[in-house]
Amino acid sequence: MAENEGTKAAAPQSGKKAPSDAQFVTPPNYLKMKVGAGGVDKEALKEAEIAVQVLGHKMYAQWADSDLERMRAAFETLKQTSLDNAADVKKMLRICWDMKGLGGTFGYPLVTTITHYLSSYLEHCLDRQLEVSSAVVSPHIDALYVVLSQKVSGDGGAIGRELVAGLEKVVLKTGARIG
């Protein structure tokens, strides 16, 4: 047997390319073709972000007030019917999620934190088919009212941190998890 005979690869017999002759095909980038070479005007984008923040901050207070009134109405309905009515609890939960999502975006992280705690509690009640307690929900609604009526932005300082700590304790005592 010759020295190099065992190390050479056999040439393909059927006319197919050997694996090392693979051809790579790059598909066209249609998005890049539509946008063009210029891309996004960073200055225009920055101006748009500022406009959204300014307008959103002004409008958020109105949106949040409306959401809070809807939450109060949903809670009143829940108290009048049955404190374990899943449909009414879910309605309150959806309002919490709306408020939670927008609070931090527009400079009201306390609203986000308070609604996070409340939504954790409501989810806990739904999961375990428990009655919702007025002693847990009412302080959250009252806290939201204070934060929104006083336009407390940021973390609210020492009073805000104390408020949040108190609400957290109330929720944790129920067995709900705050993740």
Q: What is the pLDDT of residue 142?
A: 96
pLDDT given at position 18: 61
Q: Note whether residue 73 is domain-resident.
A: yes
Please check whether residue 27 lies inside any domain of the structure. Answer: no
| Side-chain half-sphere CA neighbours of 99 within 13 A | 33
The pTM (predicted TM-score) of the whole model is: 0.71
- Tens digits of residue pLDDT in 9-23: 555 555 565 667 888
CA distance 163 to 175: 19
Determine contact, residues 107/59, Cβ cutoff 8 Å: no
Cα distances (Å, whole numbers) of residue 68 to 11, 23, 50, 148, 149? 77, 61, 26, 9, 11
Does residue 19 fall inside a structural domain?
A: no
In a domain, 28, yes or no: no
Burial of residue 81 (CB within 10 Å: 0-12, 13-18, 19+) is: exposed
Is 3 domain-assigned? no
Q: 74, 99 in Cβ contact below 8 A?
A: no
Q: Which residues of the chain have pLDDT under 50?
A: 1-3, 5-8
Is residue 115 assigned to a domain?
yes
For position 19, what pLDDT does the model report?
63
Q: Which two tokens stand for residue 103?
A: 């609070």
Write down the pLDDT at residue 105. 81
CATH number at residue 95: 1.20.120.160
Residue 92's contacts (CB-CB under 8 Å, 6 or more residues apart) are 71, 74, 75, 78, 122, 137
Tokens of 172: 């944790």
| Residue ranges making up the domain that contains 157 | 41-173
Say if 12 falls within a structural domain. Answer: no
Q: How many domains does the chain have?
A: 1
Predicted local distance difference test score (pLDDT) of residue 15 = 56
Report yes or no on 34 lying in a domain: no
Candidates 73, 117, 64; CA nearest to 91 is: 73
